[in-house]
Structure 1
Amino acid sequence: MVRQRMTGKERREQLISIGRSVFAERGFEGTSVEEVAARANVSKPVLYEHFGGKEGLYAVVVDREMIRLENLITEALQKGRSKVRIERAVLALLTYVEKETDGFQILVRDMTPGKDRSYSTLLNTAVGQVSHILGHSFQRQGLQEEVAVLYGQALVGMVSTTAQWWLDERQPPKEEVAAHIVNLCWNGLAGMLGQPTLSDEVLAELAEAERAEAENMSAENIEENA
């Protein structure tokens, strides 16, 4: 059977996918144009034609991961009770770590401040959103609203650091990790629950997302075997 030649768009997507894997495995410095081209079974000029070099490919990979993760966290923080929004955001980051491990590994290596789009700038955006949520909560409780940004920094830093630890550990399950993080954030050391769980609505959303993903995978397997 004659193998159909890739279109330019398909070749570009293939190179991005392979580049993503190699950057996650070896880091930017350890990745070479030669290796990416070899894995894609193309010559080096093809990669240069699409991206101008390793730097161009890396920029596209990082930008895509930034947009994907930023959208997930922003959507999680959009609506609902304050505690539920924090739970969703923590769970969204851990789910990204679980399902898009290569992307997260690339981003956490790219934490150099000052770049237009980096993991550090994403965290700063998240701090702003979380601080806004906490500010409203502090106001209702008669607390100092102006220190909400301090607590926002502390919370986002705690979540990000724990996510990087969980990247290697993968235990306990992500929903349990999220529940413990929010337990510390929401109740404080003096008021922590012994067996924290996420809110029922967040657990229901997680179960529905996993059910939909299982159905999609099943449908894809049926199509492949048809």
Structure 2
Amino acid sequence: MAPSSSRRTTPRSRMTAAERREQLIEIARTLFAERGFDGASVEEVASRAEVSKPVVYEHFGGKEGLYAVVVDREVTVLLAMMREALTSGTSRALMEQATLTLLDYIEQQPDGFRILVRDSPIGSQGASFQSIIGDTASRVEGILVDQFKKRGLDHKTAPMYAQMLVGMVGTTGQWWLSADRKPDKRVVAAHLVNLAWNGLSGLEKKPGLVSEG
């Protein structure tokens, strides 16, 4: 008697190469967020994916290659959000948009942000949080150049101030994430912009150190 069709088991379909690659990236993303580059291992990525280590090496060449792919994806997401958010408007509005967008990213992709703010492995050629800071700062720089010229300040120092402002938001974002994203991001953004904007409004033309006066 032929076996009943209800008893037949359908073999589990194997993942395509593309599907396997995506699975490994997601697993690695979680591990890098939890433990950092040094704490994660190819062995654990393979174990969680239920594949052998050579499969991971075949796709990425090693942990460094896998890390680079994960970081590059996070950079792409954040920069896309920044480019979309920084629309036309007043200088203060643009600063508010940049601040809120970074906090939006932290809120929506906390694991991704944790990965970006960790130190990159020695010799890594991939993008990092510093590259994001640099890209965003270059956009803020244009805002500051206009403001500096209007206020009679040395506009050649604008790039330095842009790095300071964007770095301040990034550092505060780390604190906000560790504080369970409290207070509300709009409150945090408002205070960041308050410090940055009103600090800029009171800049001295030729600042010096009081202790060296």
Calculate the TM-score normalised by the size of structure 2: 0.81
Contact 1:159–1:181 under 8 Å retained in 2 = yes
Larger radius of gyration: 2
Unaligned runs of 5+ in 2: 1-8, 203-213
* Structure with more of its chain in helix, by fraction: 1
Alpha-carbon spacing, 1:122–1:112, altered in 2? closer, same or farther (3 Å): farther
Q: Does 1:138 align with 2:148?
A: yes
Question: Structure 1 residue 125: deviation in Å?
Answer: 2.0
Alpha-carbon spacing, 1:178–1:134, altered in 2? closer, same or farther (3 Å): same
Q: 2:96 aligns with which of 87, 99, 108?
A: 87
Alpha-carbon spacing, 1:138–1:125, altered in 2? closer, same or farther (3 Å): same
Find the aligned partners of 1:112 and 1:57 in 2 and give their Cα distance: 12
Contact 2:71–2:126 under 8 Å retained in 1 = no
Alpha-carbon spacing, 1:189–1:122, altered in 2? closer, same or farther (3 Å): closer
Deviates more, 1:99-108 or 1:182-191: 182-191
Partner of 1:160: 170
Find the aligned partners of 2:173 and 2:36 in 1 and give their Cα distance: 19
The correspondence of residues 80-119 of structure 1 with structure 2, limited to 5 A, is 80-110=89-119, 115-119=125-129
The correspondence of residues 62-81 of structure 1 with structure 2, limited to 5 A, is 62-81=71-90
Alpha-carbon spacing, 1:68–1:190, altered in 2? closer, same or farther (3 Å): closer
Unaligned runs of 5+ in 1: 192-226
Q: 2:131 aligns with which of 115, 118, 121?
A: 121
- Counterpart of 2:84, as a letter, is E
- Counterpart of 1:68, as a letter, is V
The Cα RMSD (Å) is 2.2
Partner of 2:157: 147
SS at match of 2:140: helix
Find the aligned partners of 1:84 and 1:112 in 2 and give their Cα distance: 36
Question: Structure 1 residue 7: deviation in Å?
Answer: 1.1
Question: Structure 1 residue 119: deviation in Å?
Answer: 1.3
Q: Does 1:10 align with 2:19?
A: yes
SS at match of 2:132: helix
Calculate the TM-score normalised by the size of structure 1: 0.77
Q: Does 1:29 align with 2:38?
A: yes
Find the aligned partners of 2:126 and 2:43 in 1 and give their Cα distance: 28
Find the aligned partners of 2:65 and 2:122 in 1 and give their Cα distance: 19
Find the aligned partners of 1:189 and 1:77 in 2 and give their Cα distance: 20
% same residue: 57
Find the aligned partners of 2:48 and 2:171 in 1 and give their Cα distance: 33
Cα distance per residue 1:50-71 (max 9 Å; x no partner):
1112111111101111111122
Contact 1:127–1:156 under 8 Å retained in 2 = yes
Aligned length: 191
Contact 2:24–2:56 under 8 Å retained in 1 = yes
Partner of 1:222: none
